[in-house]
Amino acid sequence: MSSYLLRHVRPYDEDAVDVRLVDGRIAEIGTDLTDGTGTVYEGAGAVLLPGLVDLHTHLREPGREDAETVETGTLAAALGGFTAVHAMANTDPVADTAGVVEQVWRLGREAGHCDVAPVGAVTVGLGGEQMAELGTMADSAARVRVFSDDGRCVSDASLMRRALEYVKAFDGVIAQHAQEPRLTVGSQMNEGVHSSLLGLTGWPAVAEEAIIARDCLLTAHVGSRLHVCHVSTAGSVELLRWAKSKGWDVTAEVTPHHLILTDDLACSYDPVFKVNPPLRTQVDVDALRAGLADGTIDCVATDHAPHALEDKEAEWGAALPGMTGLETALGVVVLTMVEPGLLSWRQVAERLSSTPARIGRLDHGPQPQGRPVAVGEPANLCLVDAAARWTVDPTESASRSRNTPFAGRELAGRVVATFLRGRPTVLDGKPVTA
Amino acid sequence: MKRHLLSAADLTLEDATLVLDTAEELAQVSARTVKKLPTLRGRTVVNLFFEDSTRTRTSFELAAKRLSADVINFSAKGSSVSKGETLKDTALTLEAMGSDAVVIRHSWSGAPANLARWVRGSVVNAGDGTHEHPTQALLDAFTMRKRLGRLEGLKVTIVGDILHSRVARSNVLLLATLGADVTLVAPPTLLPVGVQAWPAQVSYDLDAVLPKSDVVMMLRVQRERMGPGPAADTETAYFPSTREYSRRYGLDVRRVTALADDAIVMHPGPMVRGMEIAPEVADGHRSTIMEQVANGVSVRMAVLYLLLGGADSAIGAPATGSSRVTAGQT
């Protein structure tokens, strides 16, 4: 019978209380609770949130274990305050069968740092031509509900329509990587003033927005559920606002990096700033922050994309796109959204925990995620020193890769402890081995 | 001057003027029977060419040799993108060999900037992807100044595939620094989104611009821009046909008559005769195409000399003016 008593913690930044965790659940919340038999952890006024849930990570296993494994990726997740992550399907082999998604799911359970919810590919081999066996993946032990060809867009309108229709049978959602391929042949960065001067092929905002508009209309037409991955432009935010005003079941995520970084960083030609979709302009950043604040964008998802050193230490055009993000996500959100007063801590819990859990349908079932901090709920929790300022050092990352764009930057708010069903995965900012 | 020449924007007005003045001095050497100076004796210049370019490589090689530098030609075509032999490996190899300057031509924009992070010596961008080609801009400015006597206020029209042209980018930046007025003329598909922020005017109408031009610089339009059509990973054509392109944007015999008497016609080469420029125009009296090639050697000598820290007069003669070579590396 494991038991923890968290002293002087402030759920959602509200009044300080003591919280007792017993057998994986929150057993008691109150002031001046007795020590009891378990371990006492002094929270010192840290903010207590439900464990964070990420709808979008790349754990690279199977296939690129040199860049990341489920073990190292989920450890990085725990250090970032996450108790559940979705693992994207663009592995090698692609997660387009029950066998692969069950393998990833099982690796997550074995590692034990956080729950891993595999995402299934929409099409066989991410080929964009033939629908994968979505129902079999849904019925597998991995209980897949999120399907995505992320990295590639399901660009064929007819195939997208069929996929949206098909997943209705098992309450699935299509998570679209919105990128019109014909408008982005050879694209390297945001198309604008900087790309024109740098001589890098542009990735125009319209290539994202055209797909979002189309997919919102398709979703409405067939009465299904769409999730838009890594929204990056002001125009996309407007389109989503419009789709939501119609009452359509459309949700969207924004990455931490798109909330803070802009395309002028490409002027260094340092591929650590190469990402897909690309960094945009300050106008876009401002619109994304406003969209996240008013709920047009439902959640923050990291798009954690670790890459081996040789894939980043290259010419911009030859380097792979992607940034790590699990350990820095909350720090960026606190810096860009909480400190400027755009989000309350309750809203942070929504945008980084309860909403992504609901979109991924992790909020119910045998081991639910994204539940509130309340007596009787599973003890998936994350404790944050809200006032901490810290400088990102890539060499300290638990990820196997070092491609963080925040190296040397100061972020705000630091995760001190993470609990997965009452068991600490992180204490005092350090991993706890199971 | 900065330690590297990666972009024409690295050059201040003083730097650019110094390069042009130094090149003028060094041009005298090319007129001598013995075309060689001892200035860079004992220094090593590496020509690192990841892309075929006989013209530019030879020009740099000749420039370095005329200054008595040791020259190594390192042709590494295509190897950077294939895994296992990275630009970084090549850079570290050159570093270990003790090169003082690396002249790099690469098909990826920004490769010289990447290289500059890994080597201690100077890096000279000899053309990177669709980014820049600063020594081409310097030799173009040198040619204009020589022919027309000035750069300030000069009306320079650059015609053709601006979108993919590293020559255009470097020329726009350098000529803006030097006070010339640049107009870019191209079909709208061959102008980049964002060109509005460049220090240049934009026009789609060559005939309207020609009478006001002191200099017309024609750029090559690569036939692959016609595009093989909408296969998944290929570009769509930028214009309907080479014939229509020539008709609207080619400098033919009829159009050239619209130019002012002393206006010159330039081309960085290689040309596609009959496409962007008529053979009669390319070989005509306004054409500076061969001068550009000759001037390229002098300008590259000046760049290598200044980057490798020549503090004394480039040709060892007594100083003739206050604009004498004094700047070393900074």
For residue B330, pLDDT over 80 is answered with: no
- Our answer to whether residue B133 is catalytic in this structure is yes
Q: Determine the average pLDDT of the residues in B284-311.
A: 92
**How do residues A158-183 score in pLDDT, each as one tens digit?**
999 999 999 999 999 999 999 999 99
Prediction pTM value: 0.94
Query: A168 in helix, strand or coil?
Result: helix
Contact A198 B106 (CB under 8 A): no
Residues 6+ apart with CB under 8 A from B41: B68, B69
Structure confidence at residue B83 (pLDDT): 46
Report the residue of chain B nearest A268, measured CA to CA: B113
Contact B110 A313 (CB under 8 A): no
Q: What angle do CA B212, B216, B219 make, to 5 degrees?
A: 145
Segment of A124-133, B93-102, B222-231 carrying the highest mean pLDDT: A124-133
**How do residues A404-428 score in pLDDT, each as one tens digit?**
999 999 999 999 999 999 999 999 9
- Our answer to whether residue B55 is catalytic in this structure is yes
Structure confidence at residue B247 (pLDDT): 95
List of domains in chain A: 3-48+378-386+409-431 (2.30.40.10), 51-359 (3.20.20.140)
Report the residue of chain B nearest A195, measured CA to CA: B194
Query: B14 in helix, strand or coil?
Result: helix
Structure confidence at residue B34 (pLDDT): 85
**How do residues A60-74 score in pLDDT, each as one tens digit?**
999 999 999 999 999
Contact B193 A314 (CB under 8 A): no
Alpha-carbon distance A277 to A282, whole Å?
A: 15
Q: Determine the average pLDDT of the residues in A276-280.
A: 98
Contact B114 A314 (CB under 8 A): yes
**How do residues A223-266 score in pLDDT, each as one tens digit?**
999 999 999 999 999 999 999 999 999 999 999 999 999 999 99
Domain ranges across chain B: 8-133+291-307, 134-289
Query: What single-letter amino acid sits at A430?
Result: K
Residue A207 belongs to what H/E stretch? helix A205-222
Measure CB to CB from residue A199 to each of B88, B132, B196 and give the nearest one. Answer: B132
Structure confidence at residue B312 (pLDDT): 57
Active-site residue identified among B33, B54, B83, B320: B83
pLDDT band at B84 (very low <50, low <70, confident <90, very high): low
**How do residues A264-274 score in pLDDT, each as one tens digit?**
999 999 999 99
Instruction: Find the helix packing angle between B134-148 and B13-31, rounded to 10°.
Output: 70
Structure confidence at residue B321 (pLDDT): 39
Overall fold of domain B8-133+291-307: Rossmann fold (3.40.50)
Instruction: Find the helix packing angle between A205-222 and A157-166, rounded to 10°.
Output: 50
Tell me which of B4, B92, B109 to substitute to probe the interface with A (most A C-beta atoms closer than 10 Å).
B109
Q: Are the C-beta atoms of residues B76 and B50 closer than 8 Å to each other?
A: yes
Report the residue of chain B nearest A200, measured CA to CA: B109
Residues in chain A, overall count: 434
**How do residues B253-283 score in pLDDT, each as one tens digit?**
999 999 999 999 999 988 989 999 999 999 9
Overall fold of domain B134-289: Rossmann fold (3.40.50)
Tell me which of B48, B108, B115 to substitute to probe the interface with A (most A C-beta atoms closer than 10 Å).
B108
Report the percentage of chain B scoring pLDDT > 90.
73
Structure confidence at residue B225 (pLDDT): 67
**How do residues A357-371 score in pLDDT, each as one tens digit?**
999 999 998 899 999
**How do residues B10-43 score in pLDDT, each as one tens digit?**
999 999 999 999 999 999 888 888 888 999 999 9
Mean of all residue pLDDT scores within chain B: 89
Q: Determine the average pLDDT of the residues in A290-313.
A: 97
For residue B318, pLDDT over 60 is answered with: no
CB pairs under 8 A, 24+ apart, for A133-137?
Answer: A133/A96, A133/A97, A133/A98, A134/A163, A134/A166, A134/A167, A134/A170, A134/A172, A135/A166, A135/A169, A135/A170, A136/A97, A136/A98, A137/A95, A137/A96, A137/A97, A137/A98, A137/A101
For residue A49, pLDDT over 70 is answered with: yes
pLDDT band at A32 (very low <50, low <70, confident <90, very high): very high
- Our answer to whether residue B44 is catalytic in this structure is no
Chain B residue set in contact with A, beta carbons under 8 Å = 80-81, 83, 86-88, 106, 108-111, 113-114, 128-132, 166, 169, 192-198, 230, 232-236
- Alpha-carbon dihedral sign for residues B252, B255, B261, B262: negative
3-state helix, strand, coil in chain A (%, to 5): 35, 25, 45
Q: What is the token pair recorded at B20?
A: 């042009």
Q: Check residues B241 and B79 and name the one with the higher pLDDT.
A: B241
Residue B73 belongs to what H/E stretch? strand B70-75
| Greatest alpha-carbon span in chain A | 66
Mean of all residue pLDDT scores within chain A: 97
Q: Determine the average pLDDT of the residues in B310-314.
A: 59
Structure confidence at residue B158 (pLDDT): 98
Query: What single-letter amino acid sits at A316?
Result: W
For residue A132, pLDDT over 60 is answered with: yes
For residue A43, pLDDT over 80 is answered with: yes
pLDDT band at B197 (very low <50, low <70, confident <90, very high): very high
Structure confidence at residue B81 (pLDDT): 43
For residue B54, pLDDT over 70 is answered with: yes
Structure confidence at residue A176 (pLDDT): 98
Contact B194 A199 (CB under 8 A): no
Active-site residue identified among B35, B36, B41, B55: B55
Contact B194 A198 (CB under 8 A): no
